[in-house]
Chains A and B, each alone.
Chain A
């Protein structure tokens, strides 16, 4: 995306009052033609990687070329992520709402010719209903979007995140103006308390209660108090916070300013991991524009309230998402956690009272202040109010970002919004809450997705990652994967986490090699419990969750590894055998030519055979076969012939 802000020069625009904010908003809206044409090109990180800047460029040139014959010169808007990442790059043509998916630069001319000049949809680029095959014209008719409830993400995909005027036109900073003119700080805290908002970072602690205890700490210890945004999203497969920071940075900022007003803070910090350069750029840009307009800094909107914030870049340590490690990192020390026997609302950053909330939590605050706690409490279910953003990834048709009301069932998210597993089989399990969460089997698909229900089944909400698995995913392998991740990310301060995770992983290594005894499984459970009980912070305290939940729900699969020496999912390389089905093999020889071991042999046009003794189970033959003749069988076979004739080791 363009490095410079696309906003107009804002210097002369410093807003002296809330009325001036409204005047500005009205003048922006008045300058726009609601019937005017507009091409929206998604510029979220996923679509950018898929080539959306080239699409925007091609659209621009196509528009220029067409300009000679047309009256309309629509603007091209670059927005944040629309959420439907598996279908990117996404292009929307307004005011008709035509939703185009998987757009390439070569489609630009057709879009301009048909949609802009003739105002008709380009049929081949429309999303087709997977069941009926019927093309769907607009975003809101697509099942993926239809079943969602977008409130935090409401502006993402609609506004240009680099232009504050677009945010203001969409209603940004209205909540701030409302709070500053008609609410006391106490009323803002009350509103957040009554809304029932719970921290979106994972633990689900009631935000209002956190703010209240921070105020009590200020009463005891005095000021300063700090407000901090936790943007150190580190779970593999999670990108909710990144999308919010990239696509609607002002929502986070406005939430933070509201929090500062409510708590009486003058300085805030945004801790964002350095791996999110686009998010950092957009936040920096948003802060600069907000400062110029007088929405951040000294004397905000001329109300006498001053607050400023700065961005701290995290250096990529997963553990720095943990609150106390995050504080030590901001303080310039190594990101090691400390025990939280004295809570961080009392003794946080630099030993001062500190309110740390997740990106999504802060982004919810303007909504609550603007629309009221009652409106917010009406979303979701009792004790779990509001919506939650999830990143839906893994073996699911519609990979992307979804926002749903709390309390919706797991199955509804995965099967109805996510479109189920490719191929149509039911999903095997879903990992919620990233590496610290648990693996929930298909049989529990009616579990409501809220903080308490997920904890009951042994998992956790976490920050909102959802990794869907099918029958080709091995639970032993998944547990190993997460443990390997956490073993690398452990800070090494306390002994159970530093020594325990690596030993747990080594135990799983033996299982995936087909070794071990049922007693070893019991010992793994015992060690997991010790690591969970003994670790200093939540990283080690939740690290055994994937192991414990897979052992609870899929113990058979563990037993198949150690007793039958086979990996039922066909993943663990020591426990599978590749075969060629002689009935399906045409003898084309493609697999034999691709095999890096040269261990596939056979006559031309005759069924081929894999020499199991030399096969390294790389899977290249499986991918290269056009006839589906290569198959993976669980278990180790000594002979390379097809099962039935083969002898098991």
Chain B
């Protein structure tokens, strides 16, 4: 067993566990949006960032991917960590304003509105990529993936055309944390 400290409390972890797994096992709260036990972590949403170490050498790491090591000191809720989370949430509120899940988590961090322009009031997708990962890793099909790059990135089928590869298993809809996939699933199979 490996001993690490989380928020000043010493806890035990099994070798190979991530910081997030260890924290959740011992009942510490770390928010996540793009994490799900069914698929491999990808470190996309950055909500699970925690502070590793103290002082000027401290750095923020994605707890969903960071492996535990003997003696490491983890802080789950420092000012630096909160600053990142609050900005991410405020940006997400403007990016996918229709998602109640995001609004609820934002409220938890006292983010009640956004100063940023809302382009699409009906948007729910934050591009966490859980749908594409479950389709690739669990279903084994990769009928959907993220397409384009940067600000133009979105979830879709190859060439954004309906695909026969999809077997309508619904895993992507089930795993989607914001219900965004529900509105997209028809475009995957091409049924109106």
Q: Is the CB of B116 within 8 A of A489?
A: no
In angstroms, Cα B126 to Cα A498, docked, is: 11
B66: chain A residues at CB < 8 Å are 339, 341
Which residue of chain B lies nearest to A488 when distances are taken between CB atoms in the complex? Answer: B150
B95 within 8 A of A: yes
Task: Identify the stretch in A111-119, A261-269, A523-531, A566-574 within 8 Å (CB) of chain B at 4 or more residues.
Answer: A523-531
From known contacts A491-B149, A492-B150, A533-B84, infer whether A341 and B61 are also in contact, taking CB-CB under 8 Å: yes
In angstroms, Cα B67 to Cα A288, docked, is: 44
B149 partner, pick from A492, A503, A523, A536, beta carbons under 8 A: A492
In angstroms, Cα B55 to Cα A599, docked, is: 60
Q: Is the CB of A502 within 8 A of B65?
A: no
Q: Smallest distance from the beta carbon of A227 to chain B beta carbons, Å? A: 26
A490 partner, pick from B84, B88, B92, B150, beta carbons under 8 A: B150
Q: Is the CB of A534 within 8 A of B151?
A: no
In angstroms, Cα B79 to Cα A533, docked, is: 12
Q: Is the CB of B91 within 8 A of A503?
A: yes
Sort chain B's interface into a size bin.
Answer: 20 to 34
From known contacts A339-B65, A341-B66, A530-B83, infer whether A491 and B150 are also in contact, taking CB-CB under 8 Å: yes
In angstroms, Cα B129 to Cα A221, docked, is: 31
In angstroms, Cα B44 to Cα A32, docked, is: 61
A498 partner, pick from B62, B83, B117, B151, beta carbons under 8 A: B151
B88 partner, pick from A339, A491, A496, beta carbons under 8 A: A496
Q: Is the CB of B91 within 8 A of A499?
A: yes
Q: Is the CB of A498 within 8 A of B84?
A: no
In angstroms, Cα B62 to Cα A535, docked, is: 10
Q: Is the interface of A mostly helix, strand, loop or mixed?
A: helix
Identify which of residues 61-101 in chain B touch chain A, using a CB-to-CB cut-off of 8 Å.
61-62, 65-67, 80, 83-84, 86-88, 91-92, 95
A535: chain B residues at CB < 8 Å are 46
Q: Is the CB of B46 within 8 A of A536?
A: yes
B42: chain A residues at CB < 8 Å are 338, 493
> Which of B62, B91, B117 counts the most chain A CB atoms within 10 A?
B91
A487 within 8 A of B: yes
Q: Smallest distance from the beta carbon of A371 to chain B beta carbons, Å? A: 37
A455 within 8 A of B: no
Q: Is the CB of B149 within 8 A of A534?
A: no
A490: chain B residues at CB < 8 Å are 149-151
Q: Smallest distance from the beta carbon of B1 to chain A beta carbons, Å? A: 20
Q: Is the CB of A489 within 8 A of B46?
A: no
Q: Is the CB of A498 within 8 A of B150?
A: yes
A487: chain B residues at CB < 8 Å are 150-151
Q: Smallest distance from the beta carbon of B167 to chain A beta carbons, Å? A: 23
Q: Is the CB of B44 within 8 A of A536?
A: yes
> Which of B60, B86, B88 counts the most chain A CB atoms within 10 A?
B88
From known contacts A490-B151, A491-B149, A533-B49, infer whether A500 and B87 are also in contact, taking CB-CB under 8 Å: yes
> Which of B42, B62, B86, B150 counts the most chain A CB atoms within 10 A?
B150
A616 within 8 A of B: no
Q: Is the CB of B91 within 8 A of A339?
A: no
Q: Is the CB of A341 within 8 A of B65?
A: yes
A494 within 8 A of B: yes
In angstroms, Cα B42 to Cα A523, docked, is: 29
Identify which of residues 504-557 in chain A touch chain B, using a CB-to-CB cut-off of 8 Å.
506, 523, 526-527, 529-531, 533-536
Q: Is the CB of A495 within 8 A of B92?
A: yes
A527 partner, pick from B87, B129, B150, B153, beta carbons under 8 A: B87
Which residue of chain B lies nearest to A499 when distances are taken between CB atoms in the complex? Answer: B91
B105 within 8 A of A: no
Which residue of chain A lies nearest to B46 when distances are taken between CB atoms in the complex? Answer: A534
From known contacts A341-B65, A536-B62, infer whether A496 and B84 are also in contact, taking CB-CB under 8 Å: yes
From known contacts A341-B61, A488-B150, A490-B150, infer whether A495 and B88 are also in contact, taking CB-CB under 8 Å: yes
Given A488-B150, A491-B153, A523-B115, 13 further pairs, Cβ under 8 A? A341-B66, A487-B150, A490-B151, A492-B152, A494-B43, A495-B44, A495-B45, A495-B46, A495-B92, A496-B91, A498-B151, A506-B117, A526-B83
* A-B residue pairs in contact (CB < 8 Å), sample of 20: A338-B42, A338-B43, A339-B43, A339-B62, A342-B67, A489-B150, A492-B148, A492-B149, A493-B129, A495-B46, A495-B126, A498-B150, A499-B92, A503-B91, A523-B115, A530-B86, A530-B87, A534-B46, A535-B46, A536-B62
The chain B residues found within 8 Å of chain A, CB to CB, are 42-46, 49, 60-62, 65-67, 80, 83-84, 86-88, 91-92, 95, 115-117, 126-127, 129, 146, 148-153
The 10 A-B residue pairs with the shortest CB-CB distance, nearest first, are A492-B153, A530-B87, A534-B84, A499-B91, A492-B150, A490-B150, A534-B46, A530-B84, A533-B60, A339-B43
The chain A residues found within 8 Å of chain B, CB to CB, are 317, 334, 338-339, 341-342, 487-496, 498-500, 502-503, 506, 523, 526-527, 529-531, 533-536
